[in-house]
Chains A and B, each alone.
Chain A
Amino acid sequence: DAGVIQSPRHEVTEMGQEVTLRCKPISGHNSLFWYRQTMMRGLELLIYFNNNVPIDDSGMPEDRFSAKMPNASFSTLKIQPSEPRDSAVYFCASEKRGGNTIYFGEGSWLTVV
């Protein structure tokens, strides 16, 4: 298996632009997580899905952030409008039902200027 696949790997965008990050979980995994990593705050859970349904989105910073999972093999994290303080590495991760290991993607490095 190729593991959790994220795109884009790197993105530089101007403040105010819309950013869409994409994730393909490992096939057969039914839980999907979005984390944000910054120097100051480390890894923070933004939202997670079970069976494509959002379970906990309390970590989503504000209304500018939204996440969807239209099917078991695809999820998006959207920021609209983006701001410089959104600059971070965004990780997607997945886990299979009954499993005890969360597998991470390589991350999307976002820079908002």
Chain B
Amino acid sequence: AQRVTQPEKLLSVFKGAPVELKCNYSYSGSPELFWYVQYSRQRLQLLLRHISRESIKGFTADLNKGETSFHLKKPFAQEEDSAMYYCALRGAGANNLFFGTGTRLTVIP
């Protein structure tokens, strides 16, 4: 069975500090991993996906198959990064995304 775990419901960091949002997954095959972001009262937006190996808004995430993790990192947090962040998994050949419970990031000015 697939499972996505985001251990922190809430995370607060000061502006300019590094931030890491944790995501661990459980899946027997080779999944696709995603990070979605939801700003206050807005729709979920794709932030990044592991297959693209890109950096969006200064965020990066590396898929670690050994640790089954896909942590989201940014070296210097900004106030506009305050939002809800969801880690999501899509199984091989599957259509739907399976989400973690989300982490609410607050960047303190």
The interface of chain A, by Cβ under 8 A from chain B, is 3-4, 31, 33, 35, 41-45, 48, 50, 55-56, 91, 93, 95, 100-107
Using a CB-CB cutoff of 8 Å, which residues 51-100 of chain B contact chain A? 51, 86, 95-100
Interchain CB contact under 8 A, A100 and B102: no
Chain B binding site: helix, strand, loop or mixed by DSSP? loop
Known: A95-B95, A102-B97. A43 touches B86 (CB 8 A): yes
Q: Across the interface, which residues of B come within 8 angstroms of A45, CB to CB?
A: 96-99
Whether A48 contacts B102 in the complex (CB less than 8 A), given A42-B86, A91-B44, A100-B51, comes out as no
Docked CA distance A100–B96 (Å): 10
For B43, the chain A residues whose CB sits under 8 A away are: 3-4, 91, 104-107
Residue among B49, B95, B101 having the largest count of chain A Cβ atoms under 10 Å: B95
- Contact flag A31-B49 (CB < 8 Å), given A42-B102, A104-B43, A104-B44: no
Contact A43 B95 (CB under 8 A): no
Q: When each residue 21-32 of chain B gets 1 if its CB lies under 8 Å from chain A and 0 otherwise, what string results?
A: 000000000001
Contact A100:B99 (CB < 8 A) given known A91-B43, A106-B43: no
A101 touches B46 (CB 8 A): yes
- Least Cβ distance of B47 to chain A in Å? 11
- Give the complex CA separation of A44 and B101 in angstroms: 9
A43 touches B51 (CB 8 A): no
- Interface contact A33-B32, CB-CB below 8 Å: no
How far does the Cβ of A4 sit from chain B's closest Cβ, in whole Å? 8
Please tell me if B45 contacts chain A, counting CB pairs below 8 Å. yes
Q: How far is the CA of A3 from the CA of B44 in the complex (A)?
A: 12
- Are A43 and B96 interface neighbours, CB within 8 A? no
With a cutoff of 8 Å between Cβ atoms, the chain B residues found around residue A104 in the complex are 36, 43-45
